[in-house]
Amino acid sequence: MRYATRWVTGLVAVAAVVGLTGLGTTAAQAKAKTTNKVVTFSQLTNHNPHRLAAIRQAARQEILTATHAKSSKVAAVYKVKLPHNMAKKATLTKDGVKMNLLPNSFKVKHITIPYKQLQGKVLNKYLPKANRVTPLKTKKVVALTFDDGPDPTLTPRLLKTLKANKVHATFFEVGQSVSRYPKVSRAVLAGGNELGNHSWNHPDFNAIGTAKTVSQVNRTNQAIYKATGQLPEYVRPPYGNITAAEGRAIEQPIIRWSVDSRDWAYLNTKKDIQSVVSATRSGSIILMHDIHAQSVAAVPTIIHKLKAKGYHFVTVGQLLDQQALPGLQYFGQHDYRTAGK
C-alpha cells in the first residue's frame, strides 16, 4: 500500500497537473489579478472539491491571524461556516482573495487570504507570478521526515545536524509532546523546517472512529498553533492508518511515506543507515523518528551518503510542489491517491 501508483480521478489529475500550469494565461488575465475581479470558487479551483477544501484550510489560518486569536479560539475556527458551494463568489484584490463570511463567533464579516497562502490551492492563472507553482527543476530529490517528537534532547540535536548540513526536513509532532516542549517546536520552524500533525497521543485512527480522529487532529492543531502561531498544513496518521471518511473530515493533506527506515524496530544506527540508503529513490519520502538516539545518530551519514549519490534534500511541501490537497494522501513525489484508498 505504501508504494502507490500514479493514479487519481480525471478531475483531480486535470486540476492538479494541467490546471496549475497556467497555460494560456493572457496579459489581460494577469492584469486582472490585481483588480477587484469577482470569480466563483469553481473558477478558482477548476471545480475541484479538494482545492476548495484547501481554500477553507487557508481561510481558517487567516481568520486566526487577522483576529490575533489565542489558542483557545482554535476549536471555534473549525465551526465557522466556509464555502462548500462552487457557485459562491470571491473577489481578487491586490492583496489576495477576499471572501465574505457568514455570522460567526469571531465577528468577522470578510477575510482576505494572501496569495502566498494559496499557492497550489487555486489555479496558477489567478495568482501573481511570484506565487505560482513552479515544479522542482532538480531531478534527484528526497524528503526526510521525522515522527513522534518533539524530544527535548534529541530533536535539538537533530536540528543542529540538519543546519550543519544545510538540509531541511519535515517533522510530524505529537500534540501532547508539543504542549510539553513548545520551545522545541518553535525551533523546528525557526530552522526552516516544516511542522506537521501526528495526532495527540498516537492512537490508531482506524480503531477510534471519525469523531475521535477529528478531535485528535484538532487538539494537536491547537497545541501547534499555541506554540508557533501557525496551524500545521499536513497530517500524518499514526501507523499510516486512515479511513476515507476520516480523510474527508480532517480537511488537511495526508502525508504517508515510500521509505520506511523501521528505526523503531532496529534501534541500531548502522541498520538505520543501510535501510534508508538502500531503499531511497528520487521522489522518496523517508520515514524516521526523532525520539530514538540511534536514529538521530544515523542522520549525518544518511545525508552524506545520499548527497554522494546526487540527491538533494527538500521538505515535503517542496517535494510536492506545494500542491498537496486535503482528502488526498501522498506517498512520494507524483505518488498519491484518495485518503483511505
Active site residues: 147, 289
Tell how far CA 172 is from the center of its chain.
Answer: 10
Cell digits for 92?
481578487
CB of 258 closer than 8 Å to CB of 284:
yes
> Strands across the sheet with 110-114, in order?
37-40, 89-92, 96-100, 110-114
Alpha helices in the chain (DSSP H): 10-13, 27-32, 41-45, 49-66, 74-77, 154-164, 175-180, 182-190, 205-208, 210-228, 244-250, 263-266, 269-279, 293-308, 316-319
Angle between helices 154-164 and 182-190 (to 10 degrees): 10
* Contact partners, residue 197, CB within 8 Å, separation at least 6: 172, 173, 175, 217, 220, 221, 224, 232, 234, 235, 236, 252
CB of 248 closer than 8 Å to CB of 231:
no
